Amino acid sequence: MIPYIEGVILTAGIFALLAQGLNLHWGFTGLINLGHVAFFAVGAYTMGILNTQFEVPLLPSFLAAMVAATLMGVIVGLPAIRLRTDYLAIVTITIGEIFRLILKSGPGVSELTRGPRGIRGFSNDFYFFRMDIGLGFLSPTQYLLLIVWVTVAVVGVLLYLLIKSPWGRVLKGIREDEDAVRALGKNVTAYKMQSFALGAAIAGLAGVFFAMDIGSLAPDTYLPIITFQVWTIMMLGGSASHSGPVVGSIIFWAIFNGTLFIPREIISGAEAAYLRQIGIGALIMAIMIFRPQGILGNREEMALDK
Amino acid sequence: MEEALQLIANGVVIGSVIAVAAVGLTLVFGILRLINFAHGDFLTLGAFAAVVGTGAGLPLYVAAIPAILVGAGVMGGLEKVLWGPMRRRGASTVNLLIISIGLALVLRYTLFWIFGSGVYRYGPISQRIDFGLFALTPQDVIIVVGSAAALFGVALMLQKTRIGKAMRALSDNKDLAEASGIDVNRVTMITWLIAGALTAYGGIMLGLQGRVFANMGWFLLLLIFAGVILGGIGSAYGAMIGSMIIGVTQELATHSAIGLPSDLKTGVAFLVLILVLLVRPQGIMGRKQAL
Amino acid sequence: MADVLLEARDLRAGYVPEVDIVRGCDLDVAEGDLVSVIGPNGAGKSTLIKSLFGLVPVRGGTVRFKDEDVTGAPTHRLVAAGIGYVPQTENVFPTLTVEENLEMGAYLRPRILEDRYEELFEWFPILAERRKQRAGTMSGGQRQLVALARALMLQPSLLLLDEPSAGLSPANVDVIFERIQLINSKGVAILMVEQNARRALAMSDRGYVLEMGQNRFTGPGKELLNDPKVIDLYLGGRASGGAQSA
């Protein structure tokens, strides 16, 4: 039972990071990013490829993963300069899918990514490292869990400070009325790109941890459904709230994994899986219809009624 | 050369299906500015509704009728209980877009729940007929002809009927339409019903290719978006043209002279979509307007 | 003594609940009248006309049309009752042909189409020539004629015009005002908001000068035209009206 709960908390932590990144895009800057899973994938794959194919040690791989995710954030952010929200939604989800296709079957790329079957074997050093710093008494999962949640806390504080700063105020201004901010002489494009880049970097880091958790990489793990899960978590906790991603993620994964306990006699495993997805869809609709600010969010902060 | 013609023929088949779905999407967008992420799943709904009929032994052309009515009914029903009330509450197009994402999940996985993850078909797939320069199955031919007929019907409706003109007027300028005395709510509902029927029909066409499964519409969604955006969002004729171009282009991209792996052909359509949005957002037939 | 067609008393209206743009206006339009509303930018002229047509929320006062209370009534009811409206901008359906634009104007009574086409093509011959042309491809002046014709399809007794001459070349301004007078001579009452104060007052039976959402002056058009106070403030003495003088 305990390892099971640890697993849930670990996943919740990873997705809290993802939601923190997305919250920066949507909650604070008003950019509708439906391709978030791409940053997740970039982080995981960069680390995995560098480590297994090019024998790059772990820490540099981690950093490279974040840089790669940041670059991806800039790429995805480029359309955002010109495009309005609805079209940005389509473009971001499309970029995410193109990326997944390239990872899977891209000429040249798929040799590196090992195509649909993916990559393994990068996580051992990571876990052995814990002995070196005297945390050998923790199981691998507990160790990862600790690292992930410390990261969530650090990122949370960082984002809190950033959003309170003048930089953060400009982001919020862009969310409310981009033209007004531009009229004040601010380079709106630069701020949007920075928001995209930072949120992507955070998601890339989450990707690295996720890869460590699973121990392998496969392109079809990184489907749009993950982006939708992160959106649900962010909306549930409350967009533009700092603790929202944490609260949303814990509740989401508790319920999600809770359904795994429904006895097979009542519904089969496959049916439970379908039910979970129906639940996510219904949750998204319900939040948006009845309580758009989520649990912890603030009605005034809602980037919705534009 | 023969390879190219065969690929073009294949492209026309899939392009026809995309076109039917795309017209439904663009008709709704025209009057409501709503990009419906659940649109693909309505295709699937139509396809499965027909499977119920054929599973009970009815020939497809009979089973199609209740399926089309179901499609129209569900879309119209959602306008009444969901979209209409949300619009009156002041929901923005972004709110509605996110709701449509949730709706897509509910719809798709309800179909999974009911029908499972298996693949269904309406009937046996016949041998391909050799037309000399290319070969197509009889089902493919029906798809192309059937889609063309539906699209022609829609065009006729838009051009010649009073309601069609009202739909175009509403899409041009909603306030002016209201000021002219047009009943905006009624025209909106009729648009949803037509879109619903058309989309269900499109789903059946798609299913005729031989595989009806719960993800089928979702897999087509980005291609439908590509067709709509390339053609010019809000323009029904644009949607038809754009979809055909998308269908043919993605097939031709797998030509041996280009060497793109078949897995990646949808990627080509996706690239077209992104390029259009960045370079000429109004598409082929659209008017330059603030996006 | 012509019957009163439209009567507004102490009208208050505004887009946003706390902010009234129209702040207590009185207005009378008799059958067959040509009435102009002029005033500086921001006076609330456009808002006034929109609030009469149900496009801007009315917060106080009353509006009566043909002796019926229509305060805040929905647009389609006013259209059915016999009021036509031509907005200042975006006043045609660009992808529809001229003929289709007119058809939409008569949406409520499709059976009268042929008769209406006949009369309106007589009043606007240039539209007859171009009946199959898409309205969006026409020049500004021609579009304005399409907009007018569309609003006339249901034979309204009152036509509300929001700055009909705005953005038109001087030649087209002449055409528009001349057409407006023609329409009026056929018995259609006209209430128009205009920046081109001189021209408007010169052809009006009565004029209202609005300032800050309230009536400032009112009287027969020619009188206002010659009133030194009005001239000074709005007709090219020191203020904005001068730029538009005919």
- SS in 3 state form for chain A? CHHHHHHHHHHHHHHHHHHHHHHHHHHHCCCCCCCHHHHHHHHHHHHHHHHHHCCCCHHHHHHHHHHHHHHHHHHHHHHHHCCCHHHHHHHHHHHHHHHHHHHHHCCCHHHHHCHHHCEECCCHHHHHHHHHCCCCCCCHHHHHHHHHHHHHHHHHHHHHHHHHCHHHHHHHHHHHHHHHHHHCCCCHHHHHHHHHHHHHHHHHHHHHHHHHHHCEECHHHCCHHHHHHHHHHHHHHCCCCCCHHHHHHHHHHHHHHHHHHCCCCCCCHHHHHHHHHHHHHHHHHHHHHHCCCCCCCCHHHCCCCC
CA dist list (Å): B255 to A100, A104, B135: 22, 20, 16
Q: How many CB atoms lie within 10 A of CB C126?
A: 14
Predicted local distance difference test score (pLDDT) of residue C246: 40
For C17-118, where are the E strands, in sequence order? 22-30, 34-38, 58-65, 68-69, 83-86
For residue C244, pLDDT beyond 60? no
Structure confidence by residue, pLDDT tens digits, B65-98:
999 999 999 999 999 999 999 998 888 888 899 9
Tokens of C236: 């090219």
Percent of chain C predicted with pLDDT > 90: 56
* Residue recorded with tokens 């595989």: B211
Instruction: Report the residue from A106, A271, A288 with minimal CB separation from B113.
Output: A271
Which domain CATH number covers B263?
1.10.3470
User: B-chain residues within 8 Å CB-CB of C91?
Assistant: 176
Number of domains in chain B: 1
The values of phi and psi at residue A120, to 5°, are: -135, 175
CA angle C183, C185, C186 (to 5 degrees): 65
Distance CA C25, CA C4 (A): 17
| Adjacent-strand bridge partners of C60 | C12
Report which residue type is found at A75: I
Architecture of domain C1-82+191-246: 3-Layer(aba) Sandwich (3.40)
Q: How many CB atoms lie within 10 A of CB A245?
A: 33
Tokens of C86: 């031509």
Structure confidence by residue, pLDDT tens digits, C72-121:
888 888 999 999 999 998 999 999 999 999 999 999 998 888 889 999 99
Given an 8 Å threshold on Cβ–Cβ distance, is A97 in contact with B225? no
Distance CA C78, CA C54 (A): 8
Measure the N-to-C terminal CA separation of chain B; round to a whole number of Å: 40
Res. B262 pLDDT band, cuts 50 70 90: confident
Instruction: Report the residue from B86, B113, B274 with minimal CB separation from A289.
Output: B86
For residue C132, pLDDT beyond 90? yes
Given an 8 Å threshold on Cβ–Cβ distance, is B277 in contact with A90? yes
Report which residue type is found at B240: M
Check: CB of residue A227 under 8 Å from CB of residue A93: yes
| Adjacent-strand bridge partners of A216 | A120
* Residue recorded with tokens 């790669």: A68
Instruction: Report the residue from B86, B106, B117 with minimal CB separation from A282.
Output: B106
* Gyration radius of chain A's alpha carbons: 19
Q: Is C238 exposed, middle or buried (0-12, 13-18, 19+ CB in 10 A)?
A: exposed
User: C-chain residues within 8 Å CB-CB of B182?
Assistant: 76, 104, 107
Check: CB of residue C104 under 8 Å from CB of residue B166: yes
SS3 content of chain B, % helix, strand, coil (to 5): 75, 0, 25
Structure confidence by residue, pLDDT tens digits, C218-236:
889 888 888 888 877 776 6
In-domain check, residue B73: yes
User: A-chain residues within 8 Å CB-CB of B274?
Assistant: 79, 91, 94-95, 98
B249 to chain A, closest Cα gap in Å = 16
Q: How far is CA A201 from the centre of its chain?
A: 9
Given an 8 Å threshold on Cβ–Cβ distance, is B177 in contact with C90? no
A244 to chain B, closest Cα gap in Å = 18
Residue ranges per domain, chain A? 2-222
CA dist list (Å): A267 to A104, A254, A261, B111: 33, 19, 10, 16
Distance CA A3, CA A86 (A): 42
> Which of A216, A192, A230 lies closest to A93 in space, CA to CA?
A230
User: A-chain residues within 8 Å CB-CB of B94?
Assistant: 32, 85-86, 303-304, 306
Predicted local distance difference test score (pLDDT) of residue A178: 87
For residue C1, pLDDT beyond 60? no
Q: Which of residues 110-129 of B touch A (CB under 8 A)?
A: 110, 112-113, 116-117
Structure confidence by residue, pLDDT tens digits, A4-31:
788 889 999 999 999 999 999 999 999 9
* Residue recorded with tokens 């301004």: C173
Check: CB of residue A15 under 8 Å from CB of residue A249: yes
Question: Which structural domain, as residue segments, surrounds residue B210?
Answer: 2-116+139-279
User: B-chain residues within 8 Å CB-CB of A103?
Assistant: none
Check: CB of residue A48 under 8 Å from CB of residue A56: no
In-domain check, residue B175: yes
Mean pLDDT of C147-153: 94
For residue C68, pLDDT beyond 80? yes
Largest CA distance in chain A: 64
Tokens of A164: 């309170």
Predicted local distance difference test score (pLDDT) of residue C236: 62
**Average pLDDT of chain A?**
87
Task: Provide the Cα torsion B231, B235, B240, B246; round to 10°.
Answer: 20
In-domain check, residue B284: no
Check: CB of residue A43 under 8 Å from CB of residue A199: no
For residue B291, pLDDT beyond 70? no
Q: How many CB atoms lie within 10 A of CB A176?
A: 12
* Residue recorded with tokens 């456009």: C46
Please state the pTM of the whole predicted model. 0.89
Q: Are strands B135-136 and B129-130 parallel, antiparallel or unpaired?
A: antiparallel
For residue A251, pLDDT beyond 70? yes
Predicted local distance difference test score (pLDDT) of residue C177: 94
Report which residue type is found at B5: L
> Which of A211, A289, A209, A220 lies closest to A20 in space, CA to CA?
A209
**Average pLDDT of chain B?**
92
Tokens of C66: 């043909």
Q: Is B123 exposed, middle or buried (0-12, 13-18, 19+ CB in 10 A)?
A: exposed
Mean pLDDT of B159-165: 94
Predicted local distance difference test score (pLDDT) of residue B104: 97
The values of phi and psi at residue C35, to 5°, are: -115, 135
Given an 8 Å threshold on Cβ–Cβ distance, is B105 in contact with A89? no
Instruction: Report the residue from A89, A278, A304 with minimal CB separation from B95.
Output: A304
In three-state secondary structure terms, C154 is coil
DSSP state of C33: -
Res. B289 pLDDT band, cuts 50 70 90: low
- Least confident range of A89-93, A101-105, B154-158: A101-105
Given an 8 Å threshold on Cβ–Cβ distance, is B35 in contact with A86? yes
* Residue recorded with tokens 């992808």: C95
Res. A268 pLDDT band, cuts 50 70 90: confident
Mean pLDDT of A268-291: 90
| Adjacent-strand bridge partners of C23 | C12
User: Closest residue of A to B110, CA-based?
Assistant: A278
* Residue recorded with tokens 């209980």: B81
In-domain check, residue B212: yes
Mean pLDDT of A35-57: 88
In-domain check, residue B290: no
| Adjacent-strand bridge partners of B136 | B129
Report which residue type is found at B207: G
| Adjacent-strand bridge partners of C237 | none
In three-state secondary structure terms, C29 is strand
